[in-house]
Amino acid sequence: MYLRSGNCPTGSCPRLSVCINTTCVCIAGTILSMGNCLEAKVFPGVLRVNRSFVDQMKNSHSQEFHQFAAELSGQLYQALHPLSDYIELKTLNLSSGSVVAVVNSIFEPTSRVLRQAVTTAISAAINSSSSGNILANATYYATSLCNQIPFPCDFSTTQCSDSGIGLTNCTCLPGFIANEYSPRSCIACPPGSRSNNDHTDCTPCPFGYSGFNCNDSSLVALVVVACVLGALLLILLLAILVYGIIRRRNSRCMSYDTCLYPLDEGRSLHSQSFTPFPRASAIPSQPNGAGASVERLDPGTRPVSVWKPPNNVLVMHLFQTGSYDVIPINLNTFTGESPSRYTYFPEGQENPSFVDVNEQRST
């Protein structure tokens, strides 16, 4: 298992080996042959033997360690040799608790043996051992090759799986592709790309993603935020535009006339001249029987000429009834034949409270 010492980490270790404490060591699942680490079928397990443990057994280079490992390998050789393509039983380390030995049952890589067959053969050898044998009252159980140190797979780039056939399968982790120089490790894809489904090539990240294995989605978040802010800005601009149109429209109705009538009609209304409403007042008759020809109006108003009928009929009727309706005259007033089209102005009416001056004098 050990290749050479004293020249690592400055010197590079051979394929399928790692540097541990300045020594190149073959990884789990391989064996040392002629200075190189070769792949093989390896079935690891733990064997507890009913023997006394001494501290020298902790050192794999001590005589006690080698003696115990040789005796154990000799007893199990009879049980494992009948299996196809058996090579050897390798003892990795010894620990206390009676004696606990971590062992590897090694076969050729082309062997068809399975983990269950190895466990059955070792258990049968233990059960058939007589008193005083190293395997007497011993116990054995199989372990996973993925948990053995040095690890058979690079745990930083791969995931190890042990299917019980004596070989491990190192599957590349997401973001890594297979390494053509080593089946036990993988190569990371450059930033901005990720591995395809079969981990054979790196593909560019989709839009909005970046970083290792396209795990950085900050660009997607930025695009979403930009879209939301853009929509809010558009709504704000539309609201300002609508508000400006409404306010401009309302500004045209600041005066009563422009809101009540169209703009042209309001102008024509102001351009027309209306005859002031006549203010009637009683005027005494002249000695010659002629009434006044001009009405008395409020101060500051322009006098309005009144048509004088023969014999002062209009004046007499005015004093008696207070009405101008005796003889229709063509005045542009509210009681004329052609009343104004602006119906909201009040029309002229009879005065029910009118009292004849002559009647007051007579009473």
Dist CA 149 CA 56 (whole Å): 22
Give the pLDDT of residue 33: 84
pLDDT digits (tens, 9 = 90+) for 284-325: 445 444 444 444 445 555 555 554 544 555 555 555 555 555
pLDDT digits (tens, 9 = 90+) for 175-195: 899 888 888 889 999 888 888
Q: Give the chain's length.
A: 363
Residue 142 has pLDDT above 90, yes or no: yes
- CA nearest 263: which of 272, 273, 252? 252
Give the mean model confidence (pLDDT) for residues 247-262.
Answer: 61
User: Are the C-beta atoms of 102 and 44 separated by less than 8 Å?
Assistant: yes
Handedness of CA 201, 202, 205, 211 (dihedral sign): positive
Give the pLDDT of residue 40: 92
Dist CA 363 CA 154 (whole Å): 137
* pTM beyond cutoff 0.85: no
Give the pLDDT of residue 176: 92
